[in-house]
Amino acid sequence: MESLVLPTDRGVVRKLSRRAAAVIAIALCATGAAACDRGAADKAKAAPEPTSPGAPGAEVPRVRFARVIARPLAPGLESSGTLAADETSEVAAQAAGPVVSVEIDAGSRVKKGDVLVRLDARDASLRLAQAAAAAEQARARLGITPGTRFDPAQVADVRAAKEAMDLAVADADRSKALVATGAVSQSAWDQARTRAEQARAQHDAALNGARQAWAGLSAAEAQARLAQKQLDDCSIRAPFDGQVAERRITAGEWAPVGRVVAVVVRDTPLRLRIDVPEADVAKVTVGRPVDLTVAAYPGRSFHGTIKRIGASVRQQSRTLPVEAEVPNADGVLRPGFFARAEVHLEGKQELALLVPERALGTTGTSARVFLRLGGHVLERLVTAGRHVEGGLVEVRGTLSVGDEIAAEDVDKLSDGVDVAVAE
């Protein structure tokens, strides 16, 4: 074999070493990349492919089914609405003053006339005492007692003036008779006549003074009554029987005239406000019974009566506002509750198809059910109607009595999916 002679120059050896290192690095990278590709391929082979419901190898969902039933129902109209207070009053102060005490709080039950808030009444009490004294003074001047009918002729000054007038007139009449016989001079007659006229004028003045004093008494009594009202207004009272919805003031605050101190609502009866579609307006009349339910008391039904029907249809929604009165003697219903109501209409009972509430799903704005057909289900669009006792809902659509429909987990199903019947 021919021997290989390597160059001994150090520069050549250094160049060969760098070139060999580069070749080795490229080889290592190629080997690592091949190993990575083989690892990824192994993982891809090991991972199972995803399956969709109904695809070969997918787990078949187990579903409980219920049958569509028919039941005779009276004609009715189902709607939803809100319960509102029969009356709502923002009770305001009619007198100004500092608040001494607040007798109520939110949720308090009150009767008509109960004190809600008390204001400082010292100034009003003093004004009342002053006005009452002025009225009593005017009453004493006239010499009458409270409740007595006023007769100006019975006033002391008027009676005295009347007696003086009568005496002067009688004296003048005698003088006139004596003048004719010559027993009394003409000058004496003139003097007697003048005294009679003066007495008559004094009587008239006394009479007018009595009437003026009576008017002054009436004004003083009116001032006293006004002062009494201002004193009464220092006690702010409930306008009707009901419940306190809000308390808006605290002891120590200044309450100007018109300041709302509390909101009181009359919660019996309540008003149920619903909207009736334009097509059903003719079916709803005053006096028709209404059944309603609220989320706060599931399984409990409340009853009311249509009392008021709106005068015009709302243009945007094409519905007519209707109000029903709902008794609430026990106070369990609250203004603001959302209620589901059924208005009972006139007419004969008709058969209606009923399905469990849980069997209804949604597709956009429509309701749907899943009909069992062999080992799979088919989607059927329906129109939901009234809710009845037992958790059932009236439906209209391509269903028949006895059809089996999925009764639970309908949101997990789709049209044509394979299913198994759950035990």
Shared-domain flag, residues 170 and 222: yes
What does the pLDDT look like over 274-328, one tens digit per residue? Answer: 999 888 888 899 999 999 999 999 888 999 999 999 999 998 889 999 999 999 9
Shared-domain flag, residues 333 and 396: no
Tell how strand 97-102 and strand 254-255 pair up: antiparallel
The domain in which residue 370 lies consists of: 62-74+349-421
Shared-domain flag, residues 339 and 379: no
Q: What is the CATH number of the domain that holds 290?
A: 2.40.30.170
The Cα 413–Cα 360 span in angstroms is 12
Query: Highest-confidence range of 53-57, 118-122, 182-186, by mean pLDDT?
Result: 118-122
Measured torsion, CA atoms of residues 114, 120, 121, 127, in degrees rounded to the nearest 10: -150
Q: What is the CATH number of the domain that holds 378?
A: 2.40.420.20
The Cα 275–Cα 38 span in angstroms is 70
Shared-domain flag, residues 224 and 323: no
SS3 assignment, position 198: helix
The residue from 326, 344, 362 where one domain ends is 344
The answer for residues whose C-beta is within 8 angstroms of residue 345's C-beta and 6 or more apart is 74, 75, 76, 77, 283, 284, 288
In a domain, 38, yes or no: no
What does the pLDDT look like over 64-99, one tens digit per residue? Answer: 999 999 988 888 888 899 999 999 999 999 999 999
The residue from 344, 359, 381 where one domain ends is 344
In a domain, 180, yes or no: yes
Scan for tokens 């109209």, then name that residue. 77
Per-residue pLDDT at 203: 86
pTM of model > 0.85: no
Contact predicate 284/306, CB 8 Å: yes
SS3 assignment, position 87: strand
In a domain, 215, yes or no: yes
Shared-domain flag, residues 172 and 206: yes
In a domain, 374, yes or no: yes
Instruction: Domain count for the chain, please give it.
Output: 3
Contact predicate 353/394, CB 8 Å: yes
Shared-domain flag, residues 175 and 215: yes
Indicate the helix (H) or strand (E) that contains 48.
Answer: none
Region class of 35: left (phi > 0), else alpha (psi between -120 and 50), else beta: alpha
In a domain, 195, yes or no: yes
The residue from 293, 315, 344 where one domain ends is 344
Shared-domain flag, residues 307 and 358: no
| Phi/psi of residue 257, nearest 5 degrees | -65, 130
Per-residue pLDDT at 25: 43
